[in-house]
Amino acid sequence: MTVDEPGKAGAAASDAGSTAGVDSSSATVQMPIPGSAGAGHPGSPASAGSAGTAAPAGATKHAGPGEHRTHGSEAGRSAGWAAPEPSRSRRLATTALAALGIAIGAAVVVGLLLAFLARDIGSSSDAAPGTPSLTLPDGNASAARVDGVPADWTEQTTRSGLVVRAPPGWTQRTDAVVDYRVDPNGPEQVGVGLSRAGDPDVAVTSYVHNTSRGQTAFATPPAVDATGARGERARQLTVTYTRQGTPVTVVVRGLSTARGVVVVATRSASDNPDRAVQLVDSTDASFRRP
């Protein structure tokens, strides 16, 4: 039997449309409905047009009743969505703000610490160093100067040319080395002099042995290191003996100066051992360094 050309074209178009619907991953398969246009009946132009037209690749087709199809990329996003990470500029800004906050906090702490230290230093520098006040032999208390020298001590010049302060009214007495001022009413005395010895240790040791060794109950320990009123290195020797029935203490200090070794010597009653040290410190502080 001979089939007309329109019938052949419709059958071929129907086969091509069915094949395209099966192979396409994104197109929806449409089943022909009997009795409707484009069902593949020979000679139907509508069947050829609908069956022979394939959907473009990647296009989303409208699903039939009760069905829903999504594109591949949309399904991936809906299955595992994650928040985007902050940008690099935002991270840098956050880090810079944190560093700035730490720097400001450190500066505040350092400023408070410096203010506290400055206050303590200022208060300590305003206070005058405490110095022991010396009592004159007559029992009257005298005010002490900042350097520890009693305010009523007067400036005097020794025969060797040294200028020193001593209590007024005390009697002058000299020996081979020291020029003394002696209390006329007691055992106390203060004096300074220049020694021919070239070393402070030799100067004090030789002076004590030459002037006091023959006294009753003479005793002396070895010389010790000491510090002068101006911070000089010194040697010091302490002697005890009995003078006219009264135990006394003698302190002799040797200091190196431009003119040689200066000998500072004092004497006081042994019942007040600190008194001799106070006297030698005040006499040391009062004389002018050559």
CATH number at residue 251: 3.40.1000.10
The mean pLDDT of 124-139, rounded to a whole number, is 41
Does residue 242 have a pLDDT over 50? yes
Q: Does 143 reside within a domain? A: no
Task: Give yes or no: residues 37 and 161 share one domain.
Answer: no
**Cβ-Cβ contacts under 8 Å for 149 (sequence gap 6 or more):** 165, 282, 285, 286
| Residue 178 belongs to a domain | yes
Q: Is residue 195 part of a domain?
A: yes
Query: Are residues 41 and 158 both part of a single domain?
Result: no
Of 28, 51, 74, at which residue does a domain stop? Answer: 51
Q: Is the pLDDT of residue 38 over 80?
A: no
pLDDT band at 138 (very low <50, low <70, confident <90, very high): very low
**The most confident of 58-72, 78-92, 107-121, 262-276, by mean pLDDT:** 262-276
* Range from 16-30, 57-71, 107-121, 196-210 that averages highest in pLDDT: 196-210
Within a domain: 230: yes
Supply the pLDDT for residue 186: 92
- Cα separation, 263 vs 258, in Å, equals 13
Question: Would 111 be classed as within a structural domain?
Answer: no
Domain that holds residue 165: 154-286
Last residue of a domain, one of 51, 69, 86: 51
Number of domains observed in the structure of the chain: 2
| Residue 28: inside a domain | yes
Higher pLDDT, 25 or 227: 227
Residue 179 belongs to a domain: yes
* pLDDT band at residue 21 using 50, 70 and 90 as cut-offs: very low
Model pTM greater than 0.75? Answer: no
Where is pLDDT greater, at 34 or 150?
150
113 part of a folded domain: no
More confident residue, 21 or 193: 193
